[in-house]
Amino acid sequence: MTDITRTDVLIVGAGPIGLFAVFELGLFDMKCHLIDILDRPGGQCAELYPEKPIYDIPGWPSISAQGLVDRLLEQIAPFKPDFTFNRMVSSLEKLEDGSFRVITDENEVFEAKVVVIAAGGGSFQPKRPPIPGIELYEGKSVFYSVRRMEEFRGHDLIIVGGGDSALDWTLNLQPVAKSVTLVHRRPEFRAAPDSVNKMYAMQEMKELDFQVGQVTGLSGADGQLSSATIKGPSGDIEVPCTRMLPFFGLTMKLGPIAEWGLNLHENMIPVDTEKFQTSVPGIFAVGDINWYPGKLKLILSGFHEVALMAQAAKRIVSPGERIVFQYTTSSTSLQKKLGVAG
Amino acid sequence: MTKLTFIAHDGTHFDVDAENGSTVMENAIRNAVPGIEAECGGACACATCHVYVDEAWTAEVGEPEAMEEDMLDFAYDVQPNSRLSCQIKVRDALDGLVVRVPARQG
């Protein structure tokens, strides 16, 4: 029997809106657990544009995206939220008592009285490079991550990309694979200069091959690669290969949320604008992932949404309990929760 | 106003009046030019506003900066005249600029 993690509110997505939901729910004494596919909190703010300034956060004429995430983490610290990173929520089921069971892609089991979907543009997943027919090889001879290095032993391997993942795996798999060819669009790399220097040194020793170019075609049968066409500065070349690892960054996909039985509107989840509840009572959707007439995908709109959502969530988590509207400026009970009471 | 022309992948021309200081991407979105997605909203963080700058304009438009080059690694069928349209600012000297939209974005 797998251990079950129980919490009041399970939040899917640890971006700015998921984080601020912890604050609003915390003021009503609800305990939160957040699950995110990234390895750290912050969502798009942390992954896509951490250093970009945001100019429309009330009270902050300018704040970097990472700065906002850091301050949200500080703001919610009194409520001691739990985080599970590097996981995608794969299934969600309503139990007989009205609570929800959520299972991750690593089979961890969570049970919560309320589920809040704050998944933004969806989960970050490896980007599929634009190579015709690549999907026929995925999972068989084309992989987007390395789970076990042994799977590459004795293979002619092509690694595509110019970032740290591409360079690190080029260096790490070189001793294991039969041959390694690194393919990158240009001779400049985003990866750490040290890795790049090591790669060039190994190329010098003919321990690996580096080709400038773009992979434009694949050949093989039954999901098994036999060669790749690389379009380079001096024309097309054909490189034999039996495994390929493309590292083309991350993109956002709605993912398994689409299969949870919620109504959808163009890959967004329709909600009402009083509670921000989905078509399933007890499941709320806030931030960029929800839709309602007039919806604006702004962080500040998400902040408003979680405040109202928290009221509705409280009625589910503590039925019958009277909800008292209070201000953090004047309520000693709220200030106690925040750890600032005099 | 500065005139821009987008040529969609199917050959349709979109002639638009652009304000100086706006980005070429913003004008594509505002005028619903098909094939420009701009997933990240102009943060140079996604490579889904990729365009090919018409050969006659590459010198005036200029080369991508290092960060944009890094993002172009994620784009589809990158050519020497590839740019991310969110990184091209409209100015007087670009009056008449022609850019082509690729077959797909990433």
A49 is in an annotated binding site: yes
CA A300 to CA A305: how far, in whole Å? 9
**For A258-316, how does the pLDDT look when each residue is reduced to its tens digit (9 = 90+)?**
889 899 988 899 999 999 999 999 999 999 999 999 999 999 999 999 999 999 999 99
Query: By a Cβ cutoff of 8 Å, what residues of chain B touch chain A?
Result: 39-40, 43, 45-46, 66, 69-70, 72-74, 76-78, 104, 106
Is B78 within the bounds of a domain?
yes
Angle, helix A16-27 to helix A65-76, in steps of 10 degrees: 20
Radius of gyration of chain A (CA): 24
**For A196-224, how does the pLDDT look when each residue is reduced to its tens digit (9 = 90+)?**
999 999 999 999 999 999 999 999 999 99
Contact A130 B77 (CB under 8 A): yes
Give the CA count within 13 Å in the CB-facing half-sphere of A25. Answer: 33
A84 is in an annotated binding site: no
Q: Buried (b) or exposed (e) across A215-253, using 16+ Cβ within 10 A? A: beebebeeeebebbbbbeeeeeeebebbbbbbbbbbbbb
Nearest CA-CA partner of B23 in B99, B76, B75: B99
Q: B76: distance to nearest CA of chain A, Å?
A: 6
Q: Which of A49, A288, A299 to mutate to test the interface with B (most CBs of B within 10 A)?
A: A49
Shortest CA distance from B44: residue in chain A: A49
Task: Note whether A142 and A244 are within 8 A (CB).
Answer: yes
Q: Which domain holds residue B61?
A: 2-100
**For B19-72, how does the pLDDT look when each residue is reduced to its tens digit (9 = 90+)?**
999 999 999 999 999 999 888 788 888 889 999 999 999 999 999 998 899 889
Place of tokens 């959707």: A285
Dihedrals phi, psi of B26, to nearest 5 degrees: -55, -40
Query: CB atoms < 10 A from the CB of A80, how many?
Result: 10
**Confidence bin at B11 (pLDDT 50/70/90):** very high
CA A281 to CA A157: how far, in whole Å? 49
Q: Buried (b) or exposed (e) across A147-172, using 16+ Cβ within 10 A? A: eeeeebeebbbbbbbbbebbbbbbbe
**For A142-169, how does the pLDDT look when each residue is reduced to its tens digit (9 = 90+)?**
999 887 899 999 999 999 999 988 999 9
Assign residue B82 the CATH number of its domain: 3.10.20.30
Q: How many interface pairs between A and B have CB atoms less than 8 angstroms apart?
A: 43
Contact B73 A185 (CB under 8 A): yes
Task: Note whether A279 and A262 are within 8 A (CB).
Answer: yes
What is the value of ipTM here, to two decimals? Answer: 0.76
Q: A330: distance to nearest CA of chain B, Å?
A: 39
CA B94 to CA B1: how far, in whole Å? 11
Residues from chain A that touch B50, judged by Cβ atoms under 8 A, are none
Is B106 within the bounds of a domain?
no
**Confidence bin at A36 (pLDDT 50/70/90):** very high
- If one counts the domains in chain B, the total is 1
Query: CB atoms < 10 A from the CB of A207, how many?
Result: 13
> In angstroms, how far is CA A108 from the centroid of its own chain?
17
Residues from chain B that touch A52, judged by Cβ atoms under 8 A, are 43, 45
Work out the burial of residue A60: count CB atoms within 10 Å of its CB; fewer than 13 is exposed, 13-18 middle, 19 or more buried.
middle
CA B3 to CA B16: how far, in whole Å? 6
**Domains detected in chain A:** 4-124+251-338 (3.50.50.60), 128-248 (3.50.50.60)
Q: H or E segment at A183?
A: strand A179-184
Q: What is the DSSP pairing of strand A179-184 with strand A209-212?
A: parallel
What is the per-residue pLDDT for B43?
Answer: 80
